[in-house]
Amino acid sequence: MNIIEEIKKLKKEKNAIILTHCYQNIEIDEISDFVGDSLYLSRAAAKTNADIIVFAGVYFMAQSAKILSPNKKVFLPNMNSGCLMADMIDVNNLRIFKKQNPNIPVVCYINSTAEVKAECDICCTSSNAIEIVKSLNVPKVLFVPDTYLGKWVEKQLGNVEIITFNGFCPTHLRIRVEDIERARKLYPNAEILTHPECHNEVAKLSDFVGSTKEIMDYAKQSDKKQFIIATEKGVADRLNRDSKLYNWGKEFILINENIICPNMKHNTLEDIYNTLLNETNEITIDKEISKKARISIDKMLNVK
């Protein structure tokens, strides 16, 4: 029996599900129950009757799954799978930031720890950030931790000042204006699809800016046949696989061969097998912190 069959057997025995973020190594999809972006995965898991969730992603994602499924056991296959952006802000930094900008609501990107979420007014994702900020109906908001997503939202809205914390995604910031210009010359008929965590100048030069899911949906629905993917390699990998599988006749080119998140690639099939077998790397969150973080997520989910 190979490792994929062993994992499937363990899943059945333990009533477990596996959630896989689309920046993960593509072979993990073979044993996954859900593949997508972080909030979709956590919400999908909460609706199941599974006893165990194994989250092939990074630490803050597994925390979000635990917040939304407090009675389920949640495991992260490899505890080295952190998020450099999420690590750029902690509760002390956040409190200083709020003190420097008093009486302004704080919007917290989902890419943050439970402890940070617990100190914010409302959560957002890259796909709903515009709607969340708009829903507050205020002239100013604080936005943590990603300055680039925050400033991109500010530009889209035009009537809200967004004061951003100086956090960022090192992987997305490897995409430069020169990459866009080179791609335009090499692939003049291709559309450039970009994540809003990128430099704002990169977003400005792109054909479409959206979350991981929005990029994938746009690419599937577009009549174009060639796309430049300006986000993590896992997205291009999955789109190319699906294009061959479903005969889309489309080509997806990663904008820069260095657009790989090392933390997202830590999880392996072996890690998942060992975690399921031994139930190691369980995610635990203080109940009070989890309760407060849940409020900020629920407020986001209630925005229509």
Average pLDDT in the chain: 97
Tokens read off for 197: 């965590």
Per the domain annotation, does 298 fall within a domain?
Answer: no
Tokens read off for 141: 């908001």
Whether 277 and 245 map to the same domain: the answer is: no
Q: What is the pLDDT of residue 1?
A: 76
- Is the domain of 17 the same as that of 46? yes
Q: What is the mean pLDDT of residues 181-204?
A: 98
Q: What is the pTM of this model?
A: 0.96
Q: What is the 3-class SS of 24-74, one letter each residue?
A: CCHHHHHHCCEEECHHHHHHHHHCCCCCEEEEECCHHHHHHHHHHCCCCEE
Domain end call among 169, 187, 202 = 169
pLDDT of residue 134: 98
Do 55 and 123 reside in the same domain of the chain?
Answer: no
* Segment 216-243 mean pLDDT: 98
For the chain, list the strands marked E by DSSP.
16-21, 34-36, 52-56, 73-75, 106-109, 122-124, 140-144, 161-164, 191-194, 208-209, 226-230, 251-254
- The answer as to whether 279 is a domain residue is yes
Residue 30: alpha-carbon gap to chain centroid: 20
Give the CATH number, domain containing residue 250. 3.40.50.10800
Domain C-terminal end among 118, 146, 169: 169
Q: How confident is the model at residue 39 (pLDDT cuts 50, 70, 90)?
A: confident
Q: Is residue 259 part of a domain?
A: no
How many domains would you assign to the chain?
A: 3
pLDDT at 171: 98
Based on the domain organization, do 180 and 223 belong to the same domain? yes
Do 25 and 74 fall into the same domain?
yes
Percent of the chain predicted with pLDDT > 90 = 99
The reply to whether 299 falls in a domain is: no
Q: 72 with 125, same domain? A: no
Residues facing residue 226 across a β-bridge: 251
Q: Same structural domain for residues 120 and 190?
A: no
The answer to whether position 154 is within a domain reads yes
Rounded average pLDDT over 87-114:
98
User: Which domain range does residue 187 map to?
Assistant: 172-254
